Chain A
């Protein structure tokens, strides 16, 4: 059974810092990995999707990497802003339309 772990569970940084969120998964037989953002009480916004054949994806200040063989992914956020404050979720797709989620990292960026 696929399990996804996200570290840290919570992170508080001052504005302007670069930061890294970590995601690990137990079964490396995945199709892709997605990073989502979730604001309090809201739905999920997809940030980046990395296919299993890719090593990284970039969107603006966000960069996600994938090391499938070691079961790890990182989400790098450059020059963090207060508007980046949210919960970040990692999810792996390792079956027919099946996503397995981690518990998330709650990020707070203070002005």
Chain B
């Protein structure tokens, strides 16, 4: 595998389910990101992890819980989601620091019923 990979690519879940999204980067980077892309809206940054510590959280609801066990892996744990959480969730990675280029994964298309 090369670049940034995400699994699953598609996920359908009920509002009472608990699921997790996984991201893995093979680029030797030390910062990872979760973005949300909803219809008709710009990509929104959700979380930033640098050197496995969360450095930014853009006031995301607590039903989204990130985890970064090491610099290559990032998870987004989901529980009691709402239908409006249906979106494309994109993971990215970069070298830590100011203005470094980010590389994106293919995304997970999430549908909440």
Interfacial residues, chain A to chain B (CB-CB below 8 A):
4, 31-32, 34, 36, 41-46, 49, 51-52, 89, 91, 93, 95-104
B102 within 8 A of A: yes
Q: Closest B residue to A104 by CB, please name it.
A: B42
Q: How far is the CA of A43 from the CA of B105 in the complex (A)?
A: 6
8 inter-chain pairs at a CB distance below 8 angstroms, sorted by A residue, are A4-B42, A36-B104, A41-B109, A45-B104, A46-B103, A96-B56, A97-B55, A101-B42
> Besides A31-B98, A34-B102, A49-B101, 18 other CB < 8 A contacts?
A32-B99, A41-B107, A41-B109, A43-B105, A46-B104, A93-B100, A95-B98, A96-B97, A97-B31, A97-B55, A97-B94, A97-B96, A97-B97, A97-B100, A97-B102, A98-B56, A99-B45, A103-B40
Give the dominant DSSP class at A's interface: strand
Q: How far is the CA of A108 from the CA of B56 in the complex (A)?
A: 36
List of B residues within 8 angstroms of A49 by Cβ: 101
- Contacting residue for B33 out of A42, A52, A97, A100, CB 8 A: A97
Q: How far is the CA of A41 from the CA of B109 in the complex (A)?
A: 8
